[in-house]
Structure 1
Amino acid sequence: MPAVIVENDTSQWQDETGAVYHFPKRYQAWLAEGTEVIYYKGRIKDKIFASVRLSADPHYFGMARIGKVYADRKSDKGDLFALIENFTPFEGAIPSKINGVYLETIPATRVNNYWRDGVRSIFQLDYDAILSHAKLLSSQADQGAPNIEGDPLTFESANEGSKSSYFGTRYERRKDLRVKAIAIHGLDCKACGFDFEQAYGEHAKGFIHVHHIVPISDFGGEKAVNPETDLVTLCANCHAVVHRKRDMTLSVDELKGMLRGRWVIEP
């Protein structure tokens, strides 16, 4: 069955809309891989968020599919997180109630507490009814790559005589892929172990480079990127060394073999 997933304006989790969604383990059965979901926001509680919402009232604002589900290593409660696939935003807010009737079927036994659930399994008819009011924008996967010309965080490798391939285009720089890679691999460098927050404190919290393991030039065209197997987190130094030579790109194992020490601050 489809499901509605609630996105709060403030949350204990720093999820990215359309990329990663954390949830308590009690909702695991409802958010299996492949489940079609609709994003929902409740009534606004703080006007500071008005500019990033489609409406101050309860509304639906996008559709997606649940990808692979992982255990949250940072949780001691068994919480989980899912990768979000094919997120497609709505052009406008779809209100939870139209002409005085809710678009979701509320069981008679849940009238007083139905809206408290962060995840709600819904009937296919309800799912279709919500989408019948939606005008869809382009999906996240269809959005073009950002302009990387002059970007100091973009590294380049190329075989002699071949067209340069930038390792910072729509694959590494696409925001949802970056967020998914970090959720899976963490914020420490997978070559030397460096952690920016541990070294520099709050100012560097959340900073890390995301590297594509297989050179994009080897793809031979468009390729679906798996953030678990195709991407890895590296510190800026290690990422630069991987792309140091224009005629070759080091593997992470080759990079590890070159390391002469581990510059990790002990707690």
Structure 2
Amino acid sequence: MPAIITENDVSQWDDETGVVYHFPKRYRALLQPDTEVIYYKGRIKDKAFASARLSPEPHYFGMARIAEVCIDKKSDKGDLYALIEGFISFEKAVLAKVEGAYLETIPSNRTSNYWRDGVRGISRSDYYAIIRLADLSATKLTAGEPAFAFDPLAFESANEGDKTNYFGTRYERNKILRLKAIAIHGLSCKACGFNFEKVYGEYAKGFIHVHHLIPISAYGEETAVNPQTDLVTLCANCHAVVHKNRDVTLSMEQLKEMLKR
């Protein structure tokens, strides 16, 4: 069954549109791998966000698929992360209400509280009704294509190994992989347990390095990277030690053994 996922302008959840959706465990049954989802925003509450929205009214703004669901290791409430794939951003807003009628079928026993749910299962007919109004022929793929950019938090790039000439040879970075790795592994160092936010406070929230367990240079060609098995989160100190010698990359086991001394 398809589902609607709500992404608010201001939220306590660590969402990244088209990449990661952070949600409470009560919605787990609705957000399973391969679930088709449509992104939704409620009515605007702060005009400062107007330029980042397709409409100030409640509307749908994109579609995607759930690739994988992971436990939020930072949560003591059982919260989860859904890793998103195939995100397509609508070129225009699809309003939640058209000609006086809602596009979502609201059960008769939920008329007073239906919109309180941030995740809502919908029928296949409602799903296609929204998609038709989105006029997908005019849309373009966004997060389905890698968003490469320089990232100062890592010593080696975190992409599939695609080489680019730039005063020699460097490797492009896939920021989507970084976000997924953090969603899976958390923001504490997997070697020493250091957490930037716990030590430095709100200013350092979300800060962590992402390390390739297999050096990018060893790939030799474009290679698919699994953020769960090929990447790990490390603090700056541990990451620096791993790469202390350019011709040798320490394994996690070697690094942890050093920390026992």
User: Normalised by the shorter chain, which TM-score bucket?
Assistant: 0.7 to 0.9
Which ranges in structure 1 are unaligned for 5 or more consecutive residues? 158-162, 262-267
For the pair 1:140 / 2:160, whether they are aligned, the reply is no
Using the alignment, how far apart are the partners of 2:7 and 2:152 within structure 1? 34
- The alignment-based identity, stated in percent, is 66
| Aligned residues between the structures | 248
Counterparts of 1:94 and 1:119, CA distance in 2: 17
TM-score by length of 1: 0.81
Who is 1:117 aligned against?
Answer: 117
Question: How has the CA–CA distance of structure 1 residues 6 and 28 changed in structure 2, closer, same or farther, with 3 Å as cutoff?
Answer: same
TM-score normalised by the chain length of structure 2: 0.83
The 10-residue stretch of structure 1 (79-88 or 206-215) with the greater mean CA deviation from structure 2: 79-88
Q: 1:102 to 1:129 in 2, by over 3 A?
A: same
Letter in 2 for 1:145: F
2:128 is matched by which residue type in structure 1? D
Establish whether residue 72 from structure 1 lines up as the match of residue 75 from structure 2: no
Question: What residue ranges of structure 2 are gaps of 5+ in the alignment?
Answer: 158-167
SS of residue paired to 1:142: coil
Q: Measure, in 2, the Cα distance between the counterparts of 1:259 and 1:228.
A: 23
Aligned 1:42-81 pairs, distance under 5 A: 42-81=42-81
* Aligned equivalents of 2:195, 2:77: Cα separation in 1: 25
Query: How many angstroms does 1:234 deviate by?
Result: 1.0
CA RMSD of aligned residues (A): 2.5
Tell me what 2:29 maps to.
29
Q: 1:215 to 1:63 in 2, by over 3 A?
A: same
Question: Structure 1 residues 229, 106: CA separation in 2 closer, same or farther (over 3 Å shift)?
Answer: same
Whole-angstrom CA distance in 1 between matches of 2:220 and 2:142: 23
1:226 maps to 2:247: no
- Residues 91-126 of structure 1: per-residue CA shift (max 9 Å, x gap): 222111233332222233333332222111111121
Residue 156 of structure 1 and its aligned partner are, at CA, apart by: 5.0
Range moving further from structure 2, 11-20 or 53-62: 11-20
Q: CA deviation at 1:58?
A: 0.5
CA distance in 1, matches of 2:70, 2:200: 29
Secondary structure at 1:145 match in 2: coil
Query: How far apart, CA to CA, are the structure 1 residues paired with 2:25 and 2:216?
Result: 36
Residue in structure 1 matched with residue 102 of structure 2 by the alignment: 102
